[in-house]
Amino acid sequence: MRIAITIYASLFLLLYLYGLVLRVRSIRSDLEFRGPRKTYGGLALALASGLMFVACYGYIVQRPILHPWFWAVFFVVSVGSLLWSGRFISSLQAEHGKRAGLAAYLVNTALVLPIDLTVFLYAFRSAQIWQQA
């Protein structure tokens, strides 16, 4: 299972980094159209979501990184963000139609679900890792 997670997380990391580069390259126009609060807030959230790859790496190499409670809270927030993403989806639906919003939500959930499962396993089902600390 760790080999599959390694492959998936590596491919997803490339996709994530590509999106992050595009976001950084568009900061000037985002500042102009969205303002600094939304621009930098969105960038901070994107960077914080990158922590999921740190948890995946810790699980893959079976090493403790930070504290299990940190990852437990991160997992809860990550799952909560899937519920919160409905707000983003509703704005997509208003702009592009109901099908586009639903498709974006399903794709987002499908991409993030294996990573969330890994964070869950790392935080709650890896006692042998945390005993090393």
pLDDT in tens, 45-84: 888 888 999 999 999 999 999 999 999 999 998 888 777 7
88 pLDDT tier (thresholds 50, 70, 90): low
The model's pTM is 0.78
92 pLDDT tier (thresholds 50, 70, 90): low
What range does the domain containing 120 cover? 2-131
Count of the separate structural domains present in the chain: 1
Instruction: Quote the CA–CA distance of 71 and 34 in Å, as a whole number.
Output: 32
Mean pLDDT of 73-101: 75
To the nearest whole percent, how much of the chain has pLDDT over 70? 89
